């Protein structure tokens, strides 16, 4: 069955949202490949190009080759249907259909907290991260982050130095090291922690991959902690995902004179919990249960304050309850086709918009 999950995940023009809708209809991915094109088109989910890829035997052959390649590289592939799939992540809206994983898979069974922040931390931010990590590791919590420069790197490295468990979620293929300066860290996490990616091996670190990566960081975690963040920091996207997933959000209070306190101040103003120590965070979480997450998770997104990056705002502000074609969005937004596709997918993953009747987009009911 994993073969068909991989094949479905490799179809150009499909993403986690559309795949989730297809699975709702067909229940199993192999049944999608056995269906004829006319019936697939009638679902309103797939276009002709997607149907052609599904009907093409080469798609299955490529998936078989990918399985062989990952096996030789020591990379595990976990589909959404497998028992090893992380339970926390399974509860989010449109979870990744396939995960490429390298490292100690048993770490997924532990409770986890994500730590994110700026790529250019101050000494205060570095010290705060180290202090929080120590308390969390002492409480036997796994640390999740994105292996970016700055706070992410400090969180991973300090966790490893304290013999704790860490998960690095990548915005590229699992065999691609980004940033290259983190080669040593990438190797150490692959040996002692877990490397995770939803992207096929070899996928480069394109900018539009990282918002998708951020939803996995928060989705693997009972809570997200933002240490230092500017007004447009990607860390705020991770915090937004955490809220929409029904998870706790903590923010480290910072000096009012620092620009890197503006993002965390906004989170605190909007209701985030002040983060002062890892032990305090662990005590307040009281080990969130999966049943509680199921009750709180946003399968039908609730309306709340959102902080979209500028490129997503530029698209989202044009979408309403009236269907808008993608070519119209291209014309009024000024974005390229690839940029627009990436942004629309991110907005779908956040539950803000949905696609109807082919390439027409409207806001979800909660945001109209």
* DSSP secondary structure, 207-223, as one string: TTHHHHHHHHHHHT-SE
Per-residue pLDDT in tens (0 to 9) along the chain, 368 residues = 789 999 999 998 888 888 998 999 999 999 999 998 889 988 888 888 899 999 999 999 999 999 999 999 999 999 999 988 999 999 898 899 999 999 999 999 999 999 999 999 999 999 999 999 999 999 999 999 999 999 999 999 999 999 999 999 999 999 999 999 999 999 999 999 999 999 999 999 998 889 889 999 999 999 999 999 998 888 998 999 998 888 999 999 999 889 999 999 999 999 999 999 999 999 888 655 555 555 555 444 444 455 677 778 888 888 888 888 877 777 777 777 767 777 787 787 777 887 776 667 888 765 55
Q: Which domains does the chain have, with CATH numbers?
A: 2-72 (no CATH), 105-296 (3.40.50.450), 310-367 (1.10.10.10)
Beta-strand pair 223-226/248-251: parallel
Helices and strands (H, E) in the chain, number of each type: 18, 12
Using N-to-C axis directions, what is the helix angle for 123-138 and 151-161, rounded to 10°? 40
pLDDT in tens, 110-159: 999 999 999 999 999 999 999 999 999 999 999 999 999 999 999 999 99
pLDDT in tens, 174-186: 999 999 999 999 9
**Residue 292: what pLDDT?**
54
Question: What's the CA angle centered on 65, arms 61 and 67, to 5 degrees?
Answer: 115
* DSSP secondary structure, 309-332, as one string: -HHHHHHHTT--SS-EEHHHHHHH
* Cα-to-chain-centroid distance, residue 222: 14
Q: What is the spatial distance between Cα 171 and Cα 146, in angstroms, rounded to a whole number?
A: 8
């Amino acid at each position: 069955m994993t073969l068909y999950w991989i094949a479905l995940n490799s179809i150009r023009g499909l993403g986690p949202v559309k795949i989730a809708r297809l699975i709702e209809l067909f229940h199993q991915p192999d049944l999608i490949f056995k269906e004829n094109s006319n019936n697939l088109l009638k679902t309103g989910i797939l276009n002709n190009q997607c149907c052609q890829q599904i009907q093409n035997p080469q798609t299955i052959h490529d998936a078989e080759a990918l399985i062989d390649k990952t096996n030789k590289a020591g990379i595990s592939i976990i589909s959404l249907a497998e028992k090893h799939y992380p339970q926390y992540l399974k509860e989010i809206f449109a979870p990744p259909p396939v995960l490429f994983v390298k490292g100690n898979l048993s770490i997924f069974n532990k409770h986890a907290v994500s730590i994110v922040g700026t790529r250019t931390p101050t000494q205060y931010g570095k010290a705060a991260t180290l202090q929080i990590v120590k308390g969390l590791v002492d409480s036997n919590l796994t640390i999740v982050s994105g292996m970016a420069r700055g706070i992410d790197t400090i969180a991973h490295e300090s966790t490893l130095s304290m013999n704790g468990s860490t998960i690095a979620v990548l915005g590229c293929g699992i065999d691609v090291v980004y940033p290259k300066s983190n080669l040593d860290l990438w190797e150490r996490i692959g040996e002692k922690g877990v490397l995770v990616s939803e992207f096929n091996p070899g996928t480069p670190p394109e900018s539009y991959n990282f918002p998708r990566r951020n939803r996995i960081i928060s989705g693997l975690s009972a809570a997200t902690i933002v240490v230092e963040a500017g007004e447009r920091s990607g860390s705020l996207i991770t915090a937004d995902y955490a809220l929409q997933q029904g998870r706790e959000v903590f923010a480290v209070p910072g000096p009012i004179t620092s620009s890197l306190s503006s993002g965390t101040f906004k989170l605190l103003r909007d209701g985030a919990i002040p983060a002062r120590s890892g032990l305090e965070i662990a005590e307040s979480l009281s080990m969130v249960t999966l049943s509680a997450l199921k009750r709180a998770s946003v399968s039908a997104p609730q309306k709340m304050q959102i902080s979209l990056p500028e490129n997503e705002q530029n698209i989202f502000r044009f979408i309403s309850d009236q269907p808008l074609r993608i070519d119209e969005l291209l014309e009024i937004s000024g974005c390229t086709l690839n940029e627009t596709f990436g942004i629309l997918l991110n907005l779908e993953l956040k539950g803000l918009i949905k696609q109807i009747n082919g390439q027409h987009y409207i806001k979800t009911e909660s945001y109209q």
